[in-house]
Amino acid sequence: MDELDQSQIQMLRKAFDTFDQEKKGVISTDMIGTILDMLGHELDDDTLTEIIQEYDVNGTGVLEFKEFCSLAARFMVEELDAEAMLAELREAFRLYDREGNGYITTEVLKEIFKELDNTLSNEDLESMITEIDTDGSGTVDFDEFLEVMTGE
Ligand SMILES: [Ca+2]
Ligand SMILES: [Ca+2]
């Protein structure tokens, strides 16, 4: 975790907690794919499996927070330029904001999550949405989206 500063670790904690739906302190490998996908890293299954094997140091088949951080560090080091990362997130948001409303409805967000990971149950989806839509408006604006992705 050496390459990460305190605020980055905080942001990862938040992302980790959001996606650790069952609060088991681990993230499933499926979810890692989803997260990387949302961050704009589309990886094929083989690459993803390789990456997870590489970072699942204790071989549990899931990523604990520490493992998650070292994996994230690899992708974040590539993203040192905060401006570039913001632009990338804006791009991702725009992609999801299909009608250009400036927000993503939680319904659409659920569909997106389902597309990314079809093993998610409705309950999983609900709890993720509740964490993301912090003001409970039923829509996710760019700030809320950003908060999930960056903890800011
Ligand atoms: Ca592990
Ligand atoms: Ca909202």
Residue 38: which domain range? 6-73
Is 88 in the same domain as 33? Answer: no
Is 64 in the same domain as 89? Answer: no
What are φ and ψ of residue 21, in 5° steps? Answer: -65, -35
- pLDDT single digits (tens) 114-130: 887 888 899 999 998 99
* Ligand lying closest to the C-alpha of residue 68: 1
* Ligand lying closest to the C-alpha of residue 104: 2
Q: Rounded mean pLDDT of 38-50?
A: 83
The set of residues, in sequence order, having a beta carbon less than 8 Å from that of 138 and lying 6+ positions away, is 105, 106
Q: 1 in a domain, yes or no?
A: no
For residue 1, what pLDDT band results from cuts at 50, 70 and 90? Answer: very low
Ligand 1: centre distance to CA 114 (Å): 24
Ligand 1: centre distance to CA 59 (Å): 5
Does pLDDT of 135 surpass 60? yes
Q: For the chain, where are the alpha helices, taking DSSP H only?
A: 6-19, 29-38, 45-55, 65-77, 82-96, 106-116, 122-132, 142-150
Ligand 2: centre distance to CA 56 (Å): 34
Is 92 in the same domain as 62? Answer: no
Q: What's the pTM value of the predicted model, to 2 decimals?
A: 0.53
- pLDDT single digits (tens) 52-87: 899 999 999 899 999 998 888 877 655 556 667 778
Q: Rounded mean pLDDT of 33-41?
A: 79
Ligand 2: centre distance to CA 38 (Å): 18
Is 87 in the same domain as 137? Answer: yes
Q: 141 in a domain, yes or no?
A: yes
pLDDT for the residue 121? 92
